[in-house]
A and B are shown apart, each in its own frame.
Chain A
Amino acid sequence: MRLNYPVHVRIIRVPCTGKVDILHILRAFEKGADGVYLVGCMEGSCFYEQGNFKARKRVEYAQRLLEQVGTGGERVQMFNLTSGEAPKFAQFAREMTERIKTLGPNPAKLAGAASKGPAAGQAAERGAA
């Protein structure tokens, strides 16, 4: 449907959101991502039955960790949709971008070496369902 969505989103393909490791999410923040979100199938419709439930749990875990270390738990999110819902996909990208704009850049980046101008934005991970 070629719906426009914010340009700062980068997509990483995985077989199922159930494959997304907590380590992958944390690594993205370590490397300066401002936000990470997972897009999986609707709950109850996982091709692999439970993958998106596992993913949700890990996202919730990552939220707690990031909250504790001061990065901010809201920077990581989980979304669900069906494959026919392109408008929702674009909407999630906008929602997430708006959220990050409100939160400001990843604090790790500010604390790191001299900032190099406007950052590349957030990396996004999604399950290719």
Chain B
Amino acid sequence: MGLEGEEGDFTARVLQHPRFVDLEKCTACGECAKVCPIPLDSEYDAGIAQRRAAYKRYAQAIPGAYAISKRGQSPCKVACPAHIAVQGYVNLIAAGRYREALRVIRDENPLPAVCGRVCTHPCEAACARGELDEPIAIRDLKRFVAEWEIEQGEMDLPETKPSRGEKIAIIGSGPAGLAAAYYLALDGFKVTTFESLPVAGGMLRVGIPDYRLPQRILDYEIDYIKALGVEIRLNSTLGEDFTVAQLQQEGYRAVIMAVGAHHCLTLGVDGEDVQGVRPGVEFLRQAGLGQASSPGKRVVVVGGGNVAIDSARTALRLGSQDVTILYRRTRNEMPAYEDEVEEALEEGVNIQFLVAPKRFISSDGKLTGVEVIKMELGEPDASGRARPQEIPGSEYVIEVDGALAAIGQEPDLECLDDTCRLDVGRKNCLQVDEVSLQTNLPFVFAGGDAVLGPATVIEAVAQGKEAARSVTAMVEGRDLKEGRPRKLTPVQPEKMDKPLQARERLPHADPAQRAKNFTEVLGPYTEEQARAEASRCLACAGCAECMLCVDACLAGAVNHDEAPRELALEVGSVVLATGARPFQPEILGLDFRFGQNPNVLTALEFERLLSPAGPTQGHLVRLSDHKEPLKIAWLQCVGSRDTNRCGNGYCSSVCCMYAIKQALVAKEHAHGELDCTIFNMDIRTFGKDYELYYHRARDREGVRFIKSRAHTIYDDPDTGGVRIEYATDDGQAMEEAFDLVVLSVGLQVPESCGELAKRLGVEIDKYRFASTEPMTPVATSRPGVMVCGSFQGPKDIPSSVTEASAAAAAAAGKLSPARWSATRSVEVIPERDVGAEEPRVGVFVCKCGINIAGVVDVPSVTEYAATLPNVVVADDGLFVCSQDVQEQMKAKIAEHNLNRVVVASCSPKTHEPIFMDTLTACGLNKYLFEMANIRNHNSWVHTAEPALATAKAKDLVRAAVARVSTHRALPKMTVGVKPRCLVVGGGVAGLTASLSLAEQGFEVVLVEREAELGGFSRRLTHTIEGADINAHLDKLIEQVREHDNLQVLTETVITSFSGYRGNFTTEVIVGPGMYERKINHGALILATGASEYEPSEYGYGEDTRVVTQVELAQRLEDPKGAEGLDSVVMIQCVGSRRDDYPNCSRICCQSAVKNALHLKELNPDMQVYVLYRDIRTYGLMEDYYTEARQKGVVFFRFDQENPPEVVPGEDGVKVSFTDHVLGREIQVRADLVTLSAGMRPRESEDLWSIMKLARNADGYLLEAHVKLRPVDMASDGVYVCGTAHGPKLVSESISQALAAAGRAATLLSQSELELSPVTSRVNPELCASCLVCVYSCPYGVPRINEDGVSQIDEALCRGCGICAAECPAKAIELNWYEDGQILAQVDALLEGVM
């Protein structure tokens, strides 16, 4: 959100989004995801597979807990007055989970069958799908699912809270009264509903005709509510049969007034009282009670609302032959529902618009006609609708014998007597508090039409429900407004990319037939229709708040009310590692057919397709037809090196390598021959040993590399794939078909990171990468704010990980005084010696909710465990890892004096530390413990065979008990750490690492074999960005020389090296005086550097006009350096990328571009030619390559097999080469030929062997892991940086030096190291000194000691156990995996088999 303060004293304000799952409680059992009905695109699978809204990003995610994607509330839920979790039940219907769908509806609305027919569905008007094609038919889906239950023949009644005795009275049994009764009954109240009519249902019964809402439907839902214990007393009229005062006397704690609006408004015109003119509501009521007769042969209905339409259609059904509706506005203003109007018209009802009755005409007291006047629309009135105005003189008469007035209703409040004087407001409605619906009498609440005037069923339901909630709160003594109303935030879907699909429509009965009777007009959905319709939902909000996860989570970890939190963090430094996103090829329009053709994928999508954990489990098939592709093309530089189409001028640095990797993996996954083709401009395999990988793909695996940018791509309708048109080097037009195309999308910093940078006051460049300086590559423009990873610039994983450590070191520099100041230490419980005791084992079996108990019969496993030898107690728990069960476990350990513990639950990889901590807290050694994995290895994978899974669980528990009985306490071991680092090499990397460590408060000894510091960088001039390398070096050396924590030893040679991490000893001979010195140090950093290759080709060393790039750069430092040069030719890959030295030297392309630009700057008319094989100006350096071409530097590509020829002559040097585009040989006369000579590591054979350091074939030091530990050597406590590791730029060396310092600091900052006691030990009695252990140990740890037997240093042992397995005398045991322990387990597992 923001960053205030300055370096060392920042306040970072951050907004933490809610996870909706409590990290402490979640056991990652996944039940929430299983029940969650909302499918969303899986970000982890790049959108080619789906996940649920309740989800875990991927199996190995940290933290392991689940989370819920909830962006707000869906528009349908917000629009629904009752706020039903619409999106939830719609998706449940799509999944065929009807019972759960209905439960979700009834959580907020007890009348699904009724509302499934007559609801005005404001949800549908709000539905986001409406913007795409048509809204989801939510009402019809509700009807479908309600009908499904009726067909099943069994009511799915919810559980009510325990009966609580309090009585509540509800006046009225319409929708508001019914809803109130339902929710109060759920809360355990005794509810009595008083109804004045002889039937229950209020307006649902007597206001809505049967052809819209059949009686049986209403009966079913009233019966459903009554089944919860609600009593409905019919023919009980308030004010006549009883009073509110009486109810109070009878002990009712609260009254809910839901009396509706049954009083019909009159027209106020002459003749209204004549026989034949009736209020529409009264007419419908009689019809509903089965008492109505035909209103006449020719009937007019006055009004434009639903009552008018219903009255007209009911009149038709009761035998009227001519029914006309008179409405004083136009159809646009008509409040009746569009569908109903349409159906009425279909049935033959006439509607006259812009007319109003003036008077009714009668003869003999009987109606004969109505005089009407034409109207026109005037200015808008208070309701916003145009006010109708009479047109004078336009009167005419319609002959009728019946008229129905349906111009509105209001509550009939005759029932209120002196004991119940409720405040009445506008339109004769009851006045209530908006939120609690409480009236002026605190125990009386009101809702529905009585409050709203004539409104909708769903509004009445909503108010009935809210009134019920208020009553519960009042009885429980809570604040009525606590948490109400809940804030809802409507959100639109993130993407509207679903294909268009029309909504499913309900079948309509034939108008001619249906107008004669009261059978239902609309028919039901078929199941297929319903599921098809439901699956159109866009799932706008992510989570639908259906609350199924809340019920499913037995650990009680889900909390849907969690709110975002704003935190203020007091910090000294900030590291930005926000990364980049894959480029979105949609921006490029239709160029690549992406988004149009399903077989055009981004590289990330393809990566997921290849992943064993991906949607196809690594099977290489096209998602469109599940066929295996035979030909795949990769198109490089999509969203990179492309200023024209997307503005990304930079190279993304990673795409060439990943494309090659994908091609190789794809070939491996394919069952038959797979043709892989990579279309590229240059192949940029510039990293350490990357070139070898490229060669393997090209030469051994047959991946085709085509130097061309595809210009046209179109669909191939025959194959579903695409056809690609491209031009070869010599301009030949080619066309080729592919089954699958992978777009090698680049990296791009998202806009949101740009905005973040702005909020933090950090400068970014034109591509939104954080601006940094070459000599401070991880420092942003704001002091104290560091950056690493691809937000710093496009880069691969090894560079990102390196930079991360560098940023950590840079951030720690100023913070070292605060080290350990905010840590807390754990209280140490003294350990009980159990060595002499007989094993007393406690077994704890976990149900893991239903994860284990759903398959395995846990009680029987527990019972069985109790019978096993040495077992003192066995118990089970719902979640053994939960806090409360852990406490119980502690109590059991104490109570039964246990000395061994077995937990039968899940994976030790995730849970072993938790249980071990519990043992430690009880004074037991943590190795007196064993887990039986009866979940991951059993209940999860043998779901179909519960009996066998239970038997297997018993086997596993038996084996664990047998094994733990053999366990011994293993002592905690620690070694001290010498807080001093030895840095070998005084070049820019060694200097930087030394200074960083010194600034972090550690002692550093820097040894350099030369007399001067600076290394190879001394010969360098400027970086491509223009930074002065020598000036930086001078400053660095001065700082190093002056720092109190730093000692510099020049002209120093290392003579011996021994020890292990934290405790090394290195002996050196110093200076011309050859003084011997012994240095004790905890860490070692190797920065031995590299130098420029000395060319033996192209006449170098024979002719002074042939120089290297370094020499040219030095020459150009002199402003007259370019004098006399009219033509310069540069030749790339000299000493690199050749058969005997296959790797790329990484830096030479940028050297050439840098010097070429310098030459052009000094003499713009100079001809500069660069002869190259691939230009590898990776990352942001691509811009300089572009600039060089713009300034007229000419680049020619040559093949390795056909290198340029250089012939020095009198008149300059003649350089000849073959140009691919022209297809012929070209000759150039040069004043100077510059060779881009590669790099070579420093030769220090003595050092490598003294320190036992591994190197690659080129002689560069070999890191422990290319990606995960890029600056660690295989030996712990030894780190590498700079060009000793591989060719790199000065800025990259600086990054890596900081990284090495950061890594060393994590070791040096600890006063002692805890060593794993799981190490091998030798029994000297048995050792035959055969040396097998010495030779088999991958780390060379065992040695034959003074006693002539093998000895293993436990500080160096890694605990693999290889020596123990190899030892022929069985003299070696690996702690915690002793042979006796493993065999006890084997024997127990196989008990009873023989």
**Contact in complex: A86, B1394 (CB < 8 Å):** no
Closest Cβ of chain A: how far from B432's Cβ, in Å?
53
Alpha-carbon separation in the docked complex, A10 to B1359 (Å): 24
Alpha-carbon separation in the docked complex, A96 to B1364 (Å): 27
**Contact in complex: A49, B1338 (CB < 8 Å):** yes
Query: Which chain A residue shows the least CB distance to B940?
Result: A2
Which of A3, A5, A31 has the most CB atoms of chain B within a 10 A radius of its CB? A31
Alpha-carbon separation in the docked complex, A93 to B1336 (Å): 30
Whether B955 is near chain A, meaning CB under 8 Å from some CB there, is: yes
**Contact in complex: B1379, A23 (CB < 8 Å):** yes
Closest Cβ of chain B: how far from A128's Cβ, in Å?
8
Query: Which chain A residue shows the least CB distance to B930?
Result: A13
Whether B891 is near chain A, meaning CB under 8 Å from some CB there, is: no
**Contact in complex: A19, B1362 (CB < 8 Å):** yes
Whether B942 is near chain A, meaning CB under 8 Å from some CB there, is: yes
Whether B1374 is near chain A, meaning CB under 8 Å from some CB there, is: yes
Q: A10-B955, A11-B937, A84-B611 are in contact. Are A116 and B1389 (CB under 8 A)?
A: no
Chain-A contact segment, one of B42-50, B967-975, B1059-1067, B1380-1388: B1380-1388
Whether A24 is near chain B, meaning CB under 8 Å from some CB there, is: yes
**Contact in complex: B1389, A16 (CB < 8 Å):** no
Whether B948 is near chain A, meaning CB under 8 Å from some CB there, is: yes
Query: Which chain B residue shows the least CB distance to A119?
Result: B1393
Residues of B within 8 A of A84 (CB): 611-613
**Contact in complex: A4, B1366 (CB < 8 Å):** no
**Contact in complex: A28, B1386 (CB < 8 Å):** yes
**Contact in complex: A10, B1393 (CB < 8 Å):** no
Whether A21 is near chain B, meaning CB under 8 Å from some CB there, is: yes
**Contact in complex: A19, B1364 (CB < 8 Å):** yes
Closest Cβ of chain A: how far from B31's Cβ, in Å?
12
Residues of A within 8 A of B948 (CB): 7-8
**Contact in complex: B937, A12 (CB < 8 Å):** no
Whether B215 is near chain A, meaning CB under 8 Å from some CB there, is: no
**Contact in complex: B955, A48 (CB < 8 Å):** no
1/0 contact trace for A96-116 toward B, CB 8 Å? Answer: 000000000000110011001
Alpha-carbon separation in the docked complex, A125 to B462 (Å): 61
Query: Which chain A residue shows the least CB distance to B30?
Result: A2
Residues of A within 8 A of B955 (CB): 10, 120
Which of B943, B955, B1318, B1390 has the most CB atoms of chain A within a 10 A radius of its CB? B1390
Closest Cβ of chain B: how far from A117's Cβ, in Å?
10
Residues of A within 8 A of B5 (CB): none
Alpha-carbon separation in the docked complex, A128 to B910 (Å): 13
Interface of A is mostly: loop
**Contact in complex: A48, B1358 (CB < 8 Å):** yes
Q: A18-B1365, A24-B1386 are in contact. Are A4 and B1392 (CB under 8 A)?
A: no
Q: A1-B59, A4-B942 are in contact. Are A54 and B1379 (CB under 8 A)?
A: no
Query: Which chain B residue shows the least CB distance to A6?
Result: B942
**Contact in complex: A4, B1394 (CB < 8 Å):** no
Closest Cβ of chain A: how far from B932's Cβ, in Å?
10
Whether A14 is near chain B, meaning CB under 8 Å from some CB there, is: yes
Residues of B within 8 A of A14 (CB): 1361, 1377, 1382
**Contact in complex: A27, B1383 (CB < 8 Å):** yes
1/0 contact trace for A60-96 toward B, CB 8 Å? Answer: 0000000000000000000000101111101000000
Which of B940, B952, B1370, B1386 has the most CB atoms of chain A within a 10 A radius of its CB? B1386
Closest Cβ of chain B: how far from A20's Cβ, in Å?
6
**Contact in complex: A86, B1386 (CB < 8 Å):** no
Query: Which chain B residue shows the least CB distance to A113?
Result: B1394
Alpha-carbon separation in the docked complex, A78 to B613 (Å): 23
Closest Cβ of chain B: how far from A62's Cβ, in Å?
12
**Contact in complex: B1392, A116 (CB < 8 Å):** yes
**Contact in complex: B1361, A31 (CB < 8 Å):** no
**Contact in complex: B618, A54 (CB < 8 Å):** no
Q: A16-B1360, A19-B1365, A88-B612 are in contact. Are A7 and B1392 (CB under 8 A)?
A: no
- Can you list 18 A-B contacts with CB-CB less than 8 angstroms, sorted by A residue number? A8-B948, A12-B1389, A16-B1362, A21-B1365, A21-B1379, A21-B1382, A23-B1383, A24-B1383, A28-B1386, A31-B1394, A51-B1338, A84-B612, A86-B613, A87-B617, A108-B1394, A109-B1394, A120-B1393, A123-B1390
Q: Nearest 3 A-B pairs (CB), nearest first?
A: A19-B1361, A32-B1393, A48-B1360
Q: A7-B952, A11-B933, A31-B1393 are in contact. List 9 more A-B contacts (CB 8 A).
A: A7-B945, A10-B952, A19-B1365, A27-B1386, A28-B1386, A51-B1362, A87-B612, A109-B1393, A116-B1392
Interface residues of A, Cβ cutoff 8 Å to B = 1-5, 7-8, 10-16, 18-24, 27-28, 31-33, 47-51, 54, 58, 82, 84-88, 90, 108-109, 112-113, 116, 119-120, 123, 128
